[in-house]
């Protein structure tokens, strides 16, 4: 995230330090030969500890060596809770066919606008799978570098000639995306990793409708204090997901009654586990020691 030092910028920067909305994931492989998803997408996330509102924002995209010639206007205000994500889908002028549909997007980019003459072009950004630059900015002002005054967050990936920090994020392809690792150190190479694409919208990662605290004890997780790297379950659980406190899915599985899921790869701390038991959504907070 760009650090701004004007008087107005300091006000904005303070807001973002408390609850900053940044780019969380970039997927440009939509409809490619081995595409996982039909359309390209950009996912935002609130990394802060309180709710945040992003106002008067635009997305701007450029090729690895190109300039930001067009922009897409986002909704007037986007409000996200801590850890909540926001899915932005690129809708091409000619429908794609390869890959699977995205989850329901929070916003669909149907056109983009030229900075030079105001012409409106049909379709969202045609993002490159392996290399490019995407920026979240305030207002319809053309970004020229990662340090432009209106930059909220800037991601250069692959062979991009501009990026935050010392180097660009890794090079993804039609089957992978670049995904933030939960930090924003203003260094794309350090903050992003190449992973399987995991598009999530504002309804993803929230607690289930029927929380396990309303169910019989032991019918979901038997050991909410996890000391042995194994979570033990008291029922058959489908679509099991473990979320970190940034709202990111860090483990997925299905498990039988009295079965276990190994979480030795996860760091110590709090997590939220969700799943479906007897066709009812349940969730439980755990502490891994």
Instruction: Identify whether residues 191 and 218 lie together within a single domain.
Output: no
CA distances from 152 to 86, 102, 213, 215 (A): 15, 25, 39, 43
Q: Please give the average per-residue pLDDT across 202-214, as a whole number.
A: 52
pLDDT at 246 (0 to 100): 62
pLDDT at 205 (0 to 100): 54
Does residue 217 lie in a domain region?
yes
Instruction: Identify whether residues 229 and 92 lie together within a single domain.
Output: no
Final residue before a domain boundary, out of 160, 195, 230: 195
Provide the domain count of the chain: 2
Instruction: Identify whether residues 60 and 116 lie together within a single domain.
Output: yes
Instruction: Identify whether residues 116 and 190 lie together within a single domain.
Output: yes
57: which residues sit within 8 A by CB, 6+ positions away? 74, 78, 136, 137, 138, 152
Final residue before a domain boundary, out of 146, 163, 195: 195
Domain with 249 in it: what CATH number? Answer: 2.60.40.3080
Does residue 129 lie in a domain region?
yes
Residue 189 to residue 10: CA distance in whole angstroms: 26
> Sign (positive/negative) of CA torsion 254, 258, 259, 263?
positive
209-224 tens-digit pLDDT = 334 444 444 578 888 8
Does residue 270 lie in a domain region?
yes
Instruction: Identify whether residues 219 and 160 lie together within a single domain.
Output: no
Instruction: Identify whether residues 182 and 119 lie together within a single domain.
Output: yes
Instruction: Identify whether residues 283 and 188 lie together within a single domain.
Output: no
Domain with 182 in it: what CATH number? Answer: 2.60.40.1260
Does residue 152 lie in a domain region?
yes
Band of residue 4 on the pLDDT scale cut at 50, 70, 90? very low
Final residue before a domain boundary, out of 149, 165, 195: 195
pLDDT at 247 (0 to 100): 65
Instruction: Identify whether residues 37 and 173 lie together within a single domain.
Output: yes
Instruction: Identify whether residues 217 and 187 lie together within a single domain.
Output: no
140-183 tens-digit pLDDT = 999 999 999 999 999 999 999 999 999 999 999 999 999 999 88
Residue 128 to residue 116: CA distance in whole angstroms: 22
Does residue 203 lie in a domain region?
no
Q: Which of 106-110, 154-158, 184-188, 237-241 has the lowest mean pLDDT?
A: 237-241
pLDDT at 208 (0 to 100): 42
Does residue 1 lie in a domain region?
no
Does residue 12 lie in a domain region?
yes
Domain that holds residue 146: 7-195
Backbone φ and ψ for 104, nearest 5 degrees, come out as: -55, 120
Cα angle value 136/119/145 (rounded, 5°): 30
Instruction: Identify whether residues 148 and 230 lie together within a single domain.
Output: no
Instruction: Identify whether residues 186 and 73 lie together within a single domain.
Output: yes
Instruction: Identify whether residues 162 and 260 lie together within a single domain.
Output: no
């Amino acid at each position: 995230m760009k650090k701004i030092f004007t008087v107005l910028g300091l006000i904005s920067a303070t807001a973002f330090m408390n609850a900053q909305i940044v780019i969380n994931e970039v997927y440009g492989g939509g409809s490619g030969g081995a595409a996982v998803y039909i359309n390209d997408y950009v996912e935002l996330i609130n990394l802060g500890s309180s709710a945040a509102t992003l106002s008067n924002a635009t997305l701007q995209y450029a090729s690895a060596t190109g300039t930001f010639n067009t922009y897409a206007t986002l909704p007037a205000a986007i409000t996200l809770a801590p850890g909540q994500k926001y899915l932005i889908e690129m809708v091409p002028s000619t429908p794609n066919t390869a890959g699977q549909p995205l989850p329901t997007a929070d916003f669909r980019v149907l056109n983009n606008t030229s900075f030079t003459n105001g012409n409106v072009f049909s379709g969202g950004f045609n993002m490159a799978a392996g290399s490019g630059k995407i920026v979240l900015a305030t207002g319809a002002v053309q970004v020229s570098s990662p340090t432009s005054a209106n930059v909220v967050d800037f991601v250069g990936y692959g062979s991009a000639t501009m990026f935050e920090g010392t180097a660009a994020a890794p090079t993804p392809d039609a089957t992978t995306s670049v995904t933030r690792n939960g930090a924003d150190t203003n260094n794309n190479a350090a903050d992003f990793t190449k992973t399987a694409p995991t598009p999530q919208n504002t309804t993803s990662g929230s607690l289930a409708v029927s929380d396990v605290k309303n169910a019989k004890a032991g019918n979901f997780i038997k050991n909410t204090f996890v000391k042995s790297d194994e979570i033990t379950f008291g029922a058959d659980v489908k679509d099991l997901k473990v979320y970190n406190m940034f709202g990111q899915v860090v483990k997925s599985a299905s498990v039988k009654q009295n079965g276990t899921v190994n979480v030795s790869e996860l760091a110590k701390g709090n997590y939220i586990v969700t799943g479906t038991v007897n066709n009812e959504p349940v969730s439980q907070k755990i502490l891994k020691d």
